[in-house]
Amino acid sequence: MSHEETLVVKGITLPPAPQAAGLYKPMMVVGNLAYLSGHLPLLDDGTMMVGQVGSDQSVDQGNDAARQVGLNMLATLRAGLGSLDKIVRVVKLLGLVNSPSGFTQHPQVINGCSELLKEVLGDDHGVGARSAFGVPGLPAGAMVEIEGIFEIQE
CA distances from 68 to 115, 118, 122, 153 (A): 11, 14, 18, 25
For residue 154, the model assigns a pLDDT of 76
> Which CATH number is 60's domain given?
3.30.1330.40
Condensed to tens digits (0 to 9), the pLDDT of residues 15-65 reads 999 999 899 999 999 999 999 999 999 999 999 999 999 999 999 999 999
Residue 9 forms part of a structural domain? no
Please list, in sequence order, all residues whose beta carbon lies within 8 angstroms of the beta carbon of residue 111, skipping any fewer than 6 positions away: 63, 66
**CA-to-CA distance for 149 and 95, rounded, in angstroms?**
12
What's the pTM value of the predicted model, to 2 decimals? 0.97
Counted domains in the chain? 1
**Whose CA is closest to 96, among 138, 54, 127?**
138
Sign of the torsion angle spanned by Cα atoms 147, 67, 88, 126:
positive
Question: Has residue 125 been placed in a domain?
Answer: yes
